[in-house]
Amino acid sequence: MSSALIIDGHPDARSLTAELARRYATAHGDARILALRDLEFDPSLRFGYRERMQLEPDLVDAKRALAEAATVVVFTPLWWGSVPALLKGFFDRALLPQQEYRYSTLGLPEGLLPARNGRLFLLADTPWFLTPFTGLPAQTHVARGTLRFCGIRSVRTTRMLGVKDASPARIESWLSRAESLGRRDGLRDRANGAGGSQAIAAEAASSSVVATS
C-alpha cells in the first residue's frame, strides 16, 4: 500500500503530463501511479445510475487504492475546457454512490474517501493572460466537483499554462516544481503515518448504486 495515489489522466505516456506524474511520484518516495491509459475498463456509464455496471478488475483495484491513499493527486491536461474523456470516464465509473460519496437525509453530499490531502496538476496550452476570459472550468470540475465532493478536504492546484509555446527552461522549471511538491508531500505523508483509515468492502464490485439522473 502506498501513501499517495497518482492518477495520470493523459492517454499518451510520452506527454509532459505523464512525465510530471512520474517525477512527482519518484520524489514522493511512497507513491503509486495509476496511469489510466493502461487500465482496461469501459469509460462510459452506459445506464447512468439506474442500472449497475459490473466493475472490471482494474477498476476494483483502483477503487481499493483510492480507499487506502492518504493523498490523491491528479495530473491532467485541459482539453476543450474539460479533462480528457479517459479521465472523465474513470471518474464516472469509479466514483459511485454509497461507496465514494453519499447523500445525507437532508440531501447534502458526504464524501467517503479517507484521504486528507489532494493535488491537481492542470496543464493547458492557454496562456495565463487569457484565463480571465476563458476561465479554467476543469479546475473547478476536478478539485471541487470531484475530489472535494468525495471527501478530500484539502485540494491544492498547480497550473501550468502556455504549454504549447513553453521554452525548454520553462518546462524544466515545471518538472522541478513537481519534484519539489512530491518531495514535500512525501515528508508530510510519512510524518503523518502512511495508510488510509477505510477499506473497500469485499462486495464493492457487486453492490448496487442509487438510482438517480
Is the separation of the CB atoms in 160 and 126 below 8 Å?
no
* Radius of gyration over every alpha carbon of the chain, rounded to an integer in angstroms: 17
Nearest to 79 by CA among 125, 140, 25: 125
- pLDDT tens sequence across 137-168: 889 999 999 999 999 999 999 999 999 999 99
Q: Are 199 and 73 in contact (CB under 8 A)?
A: no
Q: Taking CA 31 as the corner, what is the angle to CA 30 and CA 36, rounded to the nearest 5 degrees?
A: 165
* Distance from C-alpha of 2 to C-alpha of 25, rounded to nearest angstrom: 10
What's the pLDDT score for residue 205?
A: 34
Residues 179-204 pLDDT 10s? 999 999 999 999 988 443 333 333 33
Cell 459511485: give the residue. Answer: 96
CA dihedral sign of residues 33, 94, 53, 203:
positive
Q: How far apart are the first and last CA of the chain?
A: 35
For the beta carbon of residue 15, count every other beta carbon within 10 angstroms.
Answer: 17
Give the DSSP letter of residue 148. Answer: I
Report the distance separating Cα 21 and Cα 35, nearest Å.
9
Question: Which helix (H) or strand (E) is 81 found in, with range?
Answer: none
- Predicted pLDDT at 129: 72
Q: Which residues of the chain have pLDDT under 50?
A: 194-213
Which residue, chain included where needed, has cell 489522466? 9
What are phi and psi for residue 33, nearest 5 degrees? -95, 125
Query: Distance of alpha carbon 55 from its chain centroid, rounded?
Result: 18
